[in-house]
Copies of this chain bind each other. A is one copy, B any other.
């Protein structure tokens, strides 16, 4: 995953345009079945409209002697996203209204965009800004803002069931790493793994530009998604090693939330728990009123919370193979929990005699049984499997990770001591539909 990130890092992604398209083609090459969809500028989507397509070939600020002071070729953050073209000489004073830097982080180029109002501007380090001189300056942005299209990627993986899990990430951020190349590469790795064998559930994997992309996507698929989605995750900020973070759905108790909390508790040990008030990515759309998809986030360092966020400092040194791998595993475990989710009920009255099935020591000593975590876990699963608890509920009840419970539940099913209960599921109407098919 880190290598993919390294290769995709230099591309100048935005809401639209060739950088985004190249990124999606790169991902398409490794994901058989992934479709790229072009949505023409001007297309309406709920309250929004697809903006013109933006492409940029270059941009610089030069001084009177022709020395280039700020150059898009050095870093694609140097030009404000969606800058309209400009080619003029101007004073420092006039230029000043088009400059963005961060006084408190003098070596960082900030990430600034103006998607829905025509502007142009340059982002630069505060040191660069202080060294600019008085001008006059030759200011050039060689961009186009024209009718074109917004591009997104969609991969539908059909499983045994029509119940579906959503993975959504975004491909509109230029050269930054944790936010956001980590999301696309972790999502791509998850999709490759999902494609590697037939799954119980179906999967909808979408690579969209943030906000407008998910809104466009939902304007076309929300109804079907509401019917089929049992859980979803926005995959973002999944590259560094500093922490794990959980951001809930608005309701906070969907299957996605329950799985995310359970996975992070056992996978990460400690994690930072946020509120839906802290939302900031496409969960804003998936969780909007009337959309109401059960979508939660399992991140590493959350957007807005780490110092390099939305600056050139969020480079490939912020993320690592280990950081990406940790997030990948968390999502993989969440998916495994969803794949095996069910409700079970014990088939015998009173405790079954595990000893004669070879599942329990026949010698009773004071410390014997307690030491055997597996025996204890099986007895607890049998004691709590009353048909009302799903896998997460059961795992929480017996205080074990769900992925340790799954093989034990399978053993007990094989022995005829547990049976799956599929009618009704205690999860509300979405859940009922999910399990009752």
Contact = CB atoms under 8 A, between A and B. Distances in A.
Contact of A355 (B102, B117, B214, B349): B117
A46 B349 contact: yes
Interface stretch (A57-65, A363-371, A405-413): A363-371
A256 interface: no
A214 B350 CA distance: 9
A18 to B, nearest CB: 21
Contacts of A370: 304
Interface in A34-65: 45-48
A114 interface: yes
Contacts of A292: 386
B349 A290 contact: yes
Contacts of A284: 350-351, 383
A384 B219 CA distance: 20
A113 interface: yes
A310 B366 contact: yes
Contacts of A289: 345-346, 382-387
Given A110-B366, A366-B309, A290 B353 contact: no
A100 interface: yes
A116 B355 contact: yes
Nearest to A48: B353
Given A47-B353, A351-B288, A383 B279 contact: yes
Given A110-B365, A116-B362, A398-B277, A348 B46 contact: yes
A348 B222 CA distance: 13
Interface in A264-296: 276-277, 279, 284-285, 287-292
Contact of A363 (B112, B353, B356): B112
B112 A383 contact: no
A168 interface: no
> Residue among A48, A215, A366 with the most chain B CB within 10 A?
A366
Contacts of A380: 277
A423 to B, nearest CB: 17
Interface string A98-112: 001010000000111
A115 interface: yes
B116 A276 contact: no
B250 A383 contact: yes
A285 B351 contact: yes
A348 B102 CA distance: 36
A92 to B, nearest CB: 21
A141 to B, nearest CB: 16
B363 A119 contact: yes
Contact of A288 (B113, B219, B290, B350): B350
Contacts of A146: none
Nearest to A366: B310
A144 interface: no
A398 B289 CA distance: 15
Nearest to A123: B365
Contact of A311 (B46, B211, B356, B366): B366
Contact of A112 (B112, B290, B365): B365
Contacts of A399: 277
B383 A287 contact: yes
15 contacts: A46-B348, A47-B348, A47-B349, A100-B365, A110-B366, A114-B364, A116-B362, A218-B349, A218-B350, A219-B349, A284-B350, A288-B349, A289-B385, A290-B346, A309-B366
Nearest 8 CB-CB pairings of A with B: A117-B362, A310-B366, A289-B346, A47-B352, A47-B348, A289-B386, A285-B350, A215-B350
